[in-house]
Chains A and B, each alone.
Chain A
Amino acid sequence: MAKQGHQEIMRPVSNLFIASSVLAALLLNALPWEGIWLVLRPDFVAVVLLYWCTHKPHRLGIGLSWAVGILSDVNDASLFGEHALSYTVLAFGGIVLSRRIRMFDLREQTTQVFLILLATYSVYAVVHWQVNSQLAWSYFLGCLTSTLLWIPASSLFQSVRQLRVDRE
């Protein structure tokens, strides 16, 4: 419940903060990852979107996640709507489970986050399999690393938001 207390102190985050975090995630995804690092690369955009969907569901919801997905599609040169569809599912999962996730502490959150990310990755994989009739199971490793990223990313965002309050 201490968490709930923090939440009340936290000021509303600025749009600029949300936008820049999403941009940074797009940038991290766009870095030239290769070989095994590409397989193990967490989906930074998915983690950041999930954070905002669970903590500020009325600021960054399904529509904006979809738009970010379209940008990701252009960025990755994938089919229009592939990322968009998977991020739509991600945002929906995040919003539906947002209150429940905020009730738990970070370690307990990871199980829920893992399920949402697994659904997101599965949607992308199924679409890809339907379109290109080919599937690499190693793709799902990214789901695990993304879940592991949740803890540092989430605590980073929390501490930044805390900082903004302290400065005032």
Chain B
Amino acid sequence: MEGTQTFQVFNRGPSSAARLVFFAVLSLLLMFVDARFRYLESTRSLLSELVYPIQRLATLPNVLWQQTADFFVSHQNLLEENKVLHRQHETDMAQLLQWQAMLRENQQLRTLLALQQRSQFNVQFAEIVYAERDVFRRKVLINKGSAANIQEGRVVMDDKGIVGQVTRVYPWLSEVTLITEKDHAVPVQVQRNGLRSIAFGAGDTSHMALRYMPVSADIVKGDVLVTSGVDGIYPPGIPVARVELIERDAAYPFARIVCKPLGGVDQHRFLMVLSASPALPARPETMPTPARLKTKGAH
């Protein structure tokens, strides 16, 4: 006990309480700055390079396990898989040829109608490094970052539908917010009748919700929702979700519509990043205010 008590005699800088207050205030300040202004992205990306070796090392057991599993795949399995893939490829090719013909036709029609051409998207493949490690959030990190020319706002999808959106880019990694993240919104339309709406994430891995749809809206169970493209982030026509449940209660102005994402939001290891956002025409000038109109009328 003697040894510990002597520490009190020496002056060792500010007291613990003072340090607590100092660092607590510093943390709160950082949080405020980070949440409101996002000034600290460069610091974060610098620190992320420091943490990067730890992150890679942490995925090593998983990678080793995958490699061993891959090594012990039987010859028979591979042959069968190859056969199935070949058949799939042939049917896909037939559809692709048809699709190309339609694309050309669509381009011609759009030229005739003087509409803007649909933009082409390049696709980059990326592998999920790890999924969210926080109970609260729905995010994954993928192994392509600013070094591979990934930018914020890029759309991430798998072979069945939209998975999410790139929200933060590090040199070798980028963070993808999944569409099921709470309050993440995707502008959608019903494939059957073109009805526009917005799909919100529900905060768990398997559900989304359409909010603010009137009770009388023409939506039935099993409807497929595709992106509408009105926001300029998600390109139009990519499948998002299928309607699972509709509750119409006349007591509420809006129907409760629950849907299930089509993309394997928490299943795949490989994802595709669409690399170009459509170029939208400039926002129109805001309408003159009524006050100015009035003065113009007076003249």
Chain A residues engaging chain B, CB cutoff 8 angstroms:
4, 8, 23, 26-27, 29-34, 38-39, 58, 61-63, 66, 69-71, 74-82, 84-85, 88-89, 92, 95-96, 99, 127-128, 131-132, 134-136, 138-139, 142
Q: Which residues from B are CB-within-8-Å of A128?
A: 136
**Contact stretch, chosen from B58-66, B71-79, B81-89, B227-235:** B58-66
Shortest distance from the beta carbon of A57 to any chain B beta carbon, whole Å: 8
Judge whether A77 and B31 touch: CB under 8 Å: no
Q: How many A-B residue pairs have CB under 8 A?
A: 120
Known contacts being A79-B35, A81-B30, is A66 close to B23, with CB within 8 Å? yes
Q: Taking the complex as formed, is B134 at the interface, i.e. its CB lies under 8 A from any CB of chain A? A: yes
Q: Secondary structure of the A side of the interface?
A: helix
Judge whether B54 and A66 touch: CB under 8 Å: no
Nearest B-chain residue to A123, judged by Cβ:
B24
Which B6-65 residues have C-beta < 8 A from chain A? 7, 12, 16-17, 19-20, 23-24, 26-31, 33-35, 40, 43-44, 47-48, 50-51, 54-55, 57-59, 61-62
Listed residue (A61, A63, A79) with the most chain B CB atoms within 10 angstroms of its CB:
A79
Q: Which residues from A are CB-within-8-Å of B175?
A: 77
Known contacts being A138-B135, A139-B136, is A75 close to B55, with CB within 8 Å? yes
Judge whether B47 and A76 touch: CB under 8 Å: no
Q: Which residues from B are CB-within-8-Å of A26?
A: 51, 54
Query: Residues of B within 8 Å of A, CB-based: how many?
Result: 48
Whole-angstrom CA separation of A84 from B20 in the bound complex:
11
Whole-angstrom CA separation of A77 from B55 in the bound complex:
12
Q: Taking the complex as formed, is B141 at the interface, i.e. its CB lies under 8 A from any CB of chain A? A: yes
Judge whether B16 and A92 touch: CB under 8 Å: yes
Judge whether A79 and B31 touch: CB under 8 Å: yes
Chain B residues engaging chain A, CB cutoff 8 angstroms:
1, 3-4, 7, 12, 16-17, 19-20, 23-24, 26-31, 33-35, 40, 43-44, 47-48, 50-51, 54-55, 57-59, 61-62, 130-137, 139, 141, 168, 175, 182, 203
Whole-angstrom CA separation of A74 from B53 in the bound complex:
13
Judge whether A88 and B58 touch: CB under 8 Å: no
Q: Which residues from B are CB-within-8-Å of A4?
A: 1
Judge whether B44 and A81 touch: CB under 8 Å: no
Q: Which residues from B are CB-within-8-Å of A135?
A: 136
Q: Which residues from B are CB-within-8-Å of A63?
A: 19, 23
